[in-house]
Amino acid sequence: MNAAAPSTSLKWRYFRQGLFFGVVRLSAFLITATLLLILAYIFMNGFRAISWDFLTLPPTDAMTRGGIMPAIVGTLYLTVGAIAVALPLGVASAIYLTEYARQGLAIRILRIGVNCLAGVPSVVFGLFGLGLFVVFLKFGSSILAGALTLGILILPTIIGASEEALKAVPQTFREASLALGVSKWRTISRIVLPNALPGILTGSILGIGRAAGETAPIMFTAATFFTAALPRSVFDEVMALPYHIYVLATAGTQIDETRPLQYGTVLVLVALVLGIDLVAILIRSVMRKKKRW
Amino acid sequence: MTRQFKEILIKNLFALLAFVAVLVLGLIVVFLFREGLPLFRQISPGRFLFGTAWYPTYDPPEYGIWPLIVGSFTVTFFSCLIAVPLGVLSAVYISEIAPARLKNVLKSVIELLAGLPSVVLGFFGMVVIAPWLQETFDLPTGLNIVNASLMLAIMAIPTITSISEDALYAVPREFKEASYALGATKFETIARVIIPTALSGISTAVILGMARALGETMVVLMAAGGAAAVPESLFDSVRPMTASIAAEMGEAPFRSDHYHALFATGMVLFGITLAFNLIADAISNRFKETGSGTL
């Protein structure tokens, strides 16, 4: 390059830098603004629909009035079920991956498997849940089938987060324990796991948020259009918040009249999911401050 | 002896549970094929993949998913046109330029954006973007490629930003210091040293972001309009594969040709996203940083 060319003058180089910094700042700002805009819009339109009755009553008058209580309860059941499936499996897989497994072909396959599972589209999980749980195992469209499908959907998230948490526990902790003659399993259960717990918790809570907001996997496995009654067994269908939004916004005959109900439901779902995510973010930041190593 | 036995037992138990992930992946294949393959007793795979008419409820029905495949890739392409620059540049800002406090705020923003349920974005596209598009451009419908791409971009940005940011963060400090020592400005260091070094990670991020957009269901179901035809303009409605599955599965009679065709569409979708993920995996392994000595 020619040193005398204007393109390499110091002034030009700093001008270029300023331009670039402006562009990257703008993109970060745009993303933040998008989030705030969406949240503000949902809040402004949704909060008028929120009332005690809205949260505690079932829909009435062919879903044009009333509340969303069965949908809230349904989402709660599905989410709790999903985490009950995914947490033990996910943590166990992460323990095997970080604590026991030696690098080799098996681990390579395992890791590719987990990565690919994380990339499977949620609607394909829905088809899978329909094929395996609803049809083959004859659970029917039910809480059980939906919770299992959602559990498998969030499994990679839990595995990933737990692995990170386990890896962050210093190797010296394990060595100190093993040097005292403690067996491997006791080292894991008494030393490694307690130290990794906050990280595992954070990841699991994020997984819960994900499960609560998913629609496609429960469309054919658990969710129903309308039921005023609360489920009595795990083989019952349920209403769920995300599916309720979809149904009200697209399939009703009075889409415009139920708009306030739609906004209200969206607000409840967003508050629920982002509230869950915020708890996870807070736990993590507190835990980072408390970290002693 | 018993203690050793117990240890071995525990280890094997964990190994067993760990392989559940792989087992599930296998089961997905098994059950997609079990419900999808019977379609090909009726029509050939070639006609299914490249047939340009998707009229599952007509008599006689047509099961050509080419318009759906084109629809999926069109919205994915245009969403990435928005999401890739925004996502990568934001990652650069978060990782290299933003002050520490702002960095944490922005990371939380990205995380919250990732947490927004897709049905909420689909809803937003329907009630806010669609009427706006319709009025501004005087269109018959605001539910079209532009709308779906905008909303999908919001879904893909968190994936692209967080993975890119990890890749940028992993660039060894020595590289930056060497560049500064040679008199490079911060911008030149970012453009000539940091980004090229992190390029494999950023590529992975882009591919995974595309896979995310391709597999997204609710946004395209609600905002893309649902016309099963090969689009001719940006303002045409499309019906991506995911939307078709989600919209029609409820109405398709159990184990009818239509039902099998939707599972077969799921097979195609699964195959494509699996390929994307394997490519991303290969790239991130091929160019893995092994230390500051290797480039």
B119 interfaces chain A, CB cutoff of 8 Å: yes
Of B21, B97, B276, the CB nearest to A24: B97
Tell me the mean pLDDT in the region A8-30.
92
Residue B47 CB partners (closer than 8 Å, separation 6+): B63, B64
Q: Return the residue of A nearest to B102 by Cα.
A: A28
Which chain B residues have a beta carbon less than 8 Å from that of A206? 111, 115
| Chain A from 35 to 94: CB within 8 A of any B CB | 35, 38, 41-42, 88-89, 92-93
pLDDT band at B271 (very low <50, low <70, confident <90, very high): very high
> pLDDT at position A292, please?
65
What topology is assigned to A52-287 in CATH? MetI-like fold (1.10.3720)
d(CA A267, CA B123): 11
> pLDDT at position B4, please?
85
> Are residues B115 and A274, on separate chains, in Cβ contact within 8 Å?
yes
> pLDDT at position A35, please?
95
d(CA A57, CA A89): 36
pLDDT band at B81 (very low <50, low <70, confident <90, very high): very high
Statement: residue B294 has pLDDT above 70: no
CB pairs under 8 A between A and B: 260
pLDDT band at A3 (very low <50, low <70, confident <90, very high): very low
Q: What is the pLDDT of residues B186-245, one digit of tens each?
A: 999 999 999 999 999 999 999 999 999 999 999 999 999 988 889 999 999 999 999 999
> Are residues A131 and B34, on separate chains, in Cβ contact within 8 Å?
yes
Min Cα distance A54 → chain B (Å) is 19
| Chain B from 188 to 217: CB within 8 A of any A CB | 188, 190-191, 208, 211, 214-217
| H/E segment holding residue B62 | strand B62-63
d(CA B257, CA B63): 9
B111 interfaces chain A, CB cutoff of 8 Å: yes
ipTM of this predicted complex? Answer: 0.90
Across chain B, mean pLDDT equals 91
Q: What is the pLDDT of residues A142-180, one digit of tens each?
A: 999 999 999 999 999 899 899 989 999 999 999 999 999
| Chain A from 173 to 202: CB within 8 A of any B CB | 183-185
| Chain B from 131 to 150: CB within 8 A of any A CB | none
> pLDDT at position B30, please?
93
Q: Are A83 and A211 in contact (CB under 8 A)?
A: yes
**Any idea where the domains of chain B sit in the sequence?**
2-37, 66-286
- The one-letter amino acid code at B35 reads E
> Are residues A123 and B273, on separate chains, in Cβ contact within 8 Å?
no
Which chain B residues have a beta carbon less than 8 Å from that of A113? 19, 21-22, 25
Across chain A, mean pLDDT equals 89
What topology is assigned to B66-286 in CATH? MetI-like fold (1.10.3720)
Of B185, B218, B245, the CB nearest to A13: B185
- 10 Å Cβ neighbour count for B100? 6
Statement: residue A4 has pLDDT above 60: no
Tell me the mean pLDDT in the region B242-251.
92
> pLDDT at position A7, please?
56
Of the candidate ranges B19-23, B139-143, B148-152, the one whose mean pLDDT is the lowest: B19-23
Statement: residue B292 has pLDDT above 50: no
Min Cα distance B59 → chain A (Å) is 25
The conformational region for residue A64 under phi > 0 = left, psi -120 to 50 = alpha, else beta, is alpha
**Any idea where the domains of chain A sit in the sequence?**
52-287
| Chain A from 262 to 291: CB within 8 A of any B CB | 262, 266, 269-270, 273-274, 276-278, 281, 285
> pLDDT at position B1, please?
60
DSSP string, A178-231: HHTT--HHHIIIIIIHHHHHHHHHHHHHHHHHHHHH--HHHHTTTB-S--SSPP
Statement: residue A254 has pLDDT above 80: no
**pTM flag (> 0.95):** no
pLDDT band at A276 (very low <50, low <70, confident <90, very high): very high
Min Cα distance A91 → chain B (Å) is 9
Which chain A residues have a beta carbon less than 8 Å from that of B120? 38, 42, 213, 245, 266, 269-270
Q: What is the pLDDT of residues B27-49, one digit of tens each?
A: 999 999 999 999 999 899 999 99
